[in-house]
Amino acid sequence: MKKIILLLILSIYTVSFGQKKATLKEGDIIFQSMNCDLCKAINAVTEGFDGHDFSHLGMIHIKNDSIYVIEAAGKNVKLTPLEVFKTYTTDTMYVGRLKRKYRKYIPKAIEFSMSQMGVPYDEAYLYDNGSYYCSELIYDAFLAAYEKPFFELTPMTFKEPNSNQYFQVWIVYYENLKIEIPEGELGCNPGGISTSNKLKIIGVI
């Protein structure tokens, strides 16, 4: 009986943590899952915190008591009001916060990100090509602040799981760009950053 009660308590604690509302701070990273064909392909080959799917992220910047999200999305790197960022998805968004010993790097990461405003969006998803996709911006921001790799780059795949076949959506996408699919090239993704041992998921918004 005691074991059953203990399991019930742990279950309640887990559920309540999963739904804990986060109070946002400068440098927090917000992870979200967007509904698009490319997003589904990304979700199929990446895994985020606690098995959640994340296809987009941004970093919190608080300015004059207003909350913004620094993101690479649409046409370029931009500063987006939090309320607008929330409209990108109907799913719960998760908040990651750097562990205490790393928080001193946040100001430089913010400064770097703000200096990239207007840089084109990286439609090719190729690292270090003069443009940025969402997680690439955050990777470079903390690379600049930490002065060595902070998050990890890993080989990217555009193939269906347990298959040697590319997702059809990626075939069409890269044909339209008139470039080869960058299979195996180093890159990063929101899911991977959400599982970094340098941050902790503190709740949801």
Q: What is the pLDDT of residue 35?
A: 85
Q: Could you tell me the residue ranges of all domains in the chain?
A: 21-152+187-204
DSSP codes joined into one string, the chain = -HHHHHHHHHHHHHHHHHTPBP---TT-EEEE---SHHHHHHHHH---GGG----EEEEEEEETTEEEEEEEETTEEEEEEHHHHHTT-SS--EEEEE-GGGGGGHHHHHHHHHHTTTPBB-TT--TTSS-B-HHHHHHHHHHHHHSS--S--EE---BPTTSSSBPHHHHHHHHHHTS---TT-EE--HHHHHT-TTEEEEEE-
Tens place of pLDDT per residue across the chain (205 aa): 444 444 444 444 444 344 599 999 999 999 999 988 899 999 999 999 999 999 999 999 999 989 999 999 999 999 999 999 999 998 999 999 999 999 999 999 999 999 999 999 999 999 999 999 999 999 999 999 999 999 999 999 999 999 999 999 999 999 999 999 999 999 999 999 999 999 999 999 9
What is the total residue count of the chain?
205
**What pLDDT is stored for residue 2 in this prediction?**
45
Which among 62, 182, 64, 184 has a CA at the least distance from the CA of 125? 182
- Classify domain 21-152+187-204 at the CATH class level: alpha beta
Number of Cβ within a 10 Å radius of residue 121: 19
